Amino acid sequence: MAALAAACALASGSAALAADVNQGWGSWWLPPVRSQHGPAIDQLFNWIFWITTITFVLVEATLVVFMIKYRHRPGVRKAHFTHGNTRLEMTWTIAPAIILAVLALFSKKVWDNYRYSPSSEDPNRAIVLVVGEQFKWNFIYPGPDGHLGRYLIFPKPTDVYWPNPNKDGKPYIYAGVKGPAELPYDKAVAAINQYVTGVNPLGKDFSDPKGDDDDWTPTPGRALELPAKRPIEVQLSSKDVIHDFFLPNFRVKLDAVPGMRGRLFFTSEMTSKERELSSRRKYTIDELDAAFKANANSEFTATIDDEFKTEGAELSAPKGSNAKAWRYVDKPGGSTIVRNGGAVTAAAVTKLKAAGVKEIFAFEPGYWDLVCEELCGQGHFTMQGKVFFLDDNEYRQKYEKAKGSPKVAMNDVP
């Protein structure tokens, strides 16, 4: 029933997320699905929801009827006690067993396609290593060779040598010694903590040639970029405590556990640019004002051009530039409130309202939310990220440096 747990968790926190939510009556249910395996997860969730809901209502209604019908009343004969009804007992035992068996078989099919997808052997799949740490995400791309290097290998107090972060073959000196074993235990632990914090935060093995061309950064928090409409393999681990990698709109959710390497597979059906285009619409100023009041982190980008120009916008040439751009102004010839392609902030909405602008064309930025669904510490609420889905060629040029299919093989896992 693992898929059931995943589906329930997906439903629990998704409606509150700002990016890519349903409009109107649909906003209280699951967010729009943007992955190929997502509809099967939703179907499983819906079946389980309605089966359990109908069963709950029937059972509670029966209890209420029986409490009223067989309540204590003076002069009424007491109930007749029976030792049981074999047919009835077989019915309420066999029927749930059949329902649970069918759900279990369907859950296994959905779960296998998500965790052990046929795309796991696809040489064209894109691979990314995600490492959680309090309270940010790290993303590592394998580069043109399609192989990830070794990471999360940290020195121990008994190690004779420090890992060499320069890969020059010479013994690396840190904290005045060649290795933590030369220090007393307490000082060795303190030196290791300093090494992990300042020298090699991801525990990269610089002697592994597979990692020479990896795209990585020692500083966590950058945005995650993945290709759309192409199989993706996400490898998951953690640097400190258990985290949870959760993409609500893609029905992707799995724990990142220290010392383990989790894997999941999915394919996005929408690029970030397509999301921006699909969200372009006319917003009233009151709608935007309500959105910012409900969620101060709401984001909108102005769309002001010949196709999406509305009242209150004018064409102007910015100072020192020959280019012309649509902009909203506080009065004819006045100062700019927001320019085409600019961020629509809460302050800008207030000024637009004061200037008499009643509506504006805008769109939501083309990223999706990445959140941690595990209580990983006091800063858990800050462990958020942004995920952009690029056109496949754009992704290959940026991270694989080639338009052709990379040579990808199952990576060695330490």
Q: Domain extents for the chain?
A: 2-71+87-118, 122-269+372-400, 280-363
Q: The tokens of 397 are what?
A: 């040029």
| Number of helices followed by number of strands (H, E) in the chain | 8, 15
H helical segments located in 322-363: 346-354
Question: What pLDDT shows up at residue 298?
Answer: 84
Task: Write the CB contacts of 388 (distance below 8 Å, at least 6 apart in sequence).
Answer: 223, 224, 225, 226, 272, 366, 367
Report CA-CA distances (Å) from 277 to 8, 12, 154, 363, 387: 31, 28, 45, 7, 17
Q: The tokens of 363 are what?
A: 């769109």
Single pTM value for the model:
0.79
Question: What pLDDT shows up at residue 414?
Answer: 35
- Average the pLDDT over each of 63-72, 75-84, 193-202, 364-373 and give the range with the smallest value: 75-84
CA 209/CA 201 separation, integer angstroms:
19
Would the pLDDT of 91 be above 80?
yes
Return the SS3 of 368. strand
Q: 122-269+372-400 architecture in CATH?
A: Sandwich (2.60)
3-state helix, strand, coil in the chain (%, to 5): 35, 20, 45
- Average the pLDDT over each of 44-58, 227-241, 304-318, 400-414 and give the range with the smallest value: 400-414
Q: Which of 226-230, 304-308, 347-351 has the highest mean pLDDT?
A: 226-230
- Residue % of the chain over a pLDDT of 70: 88
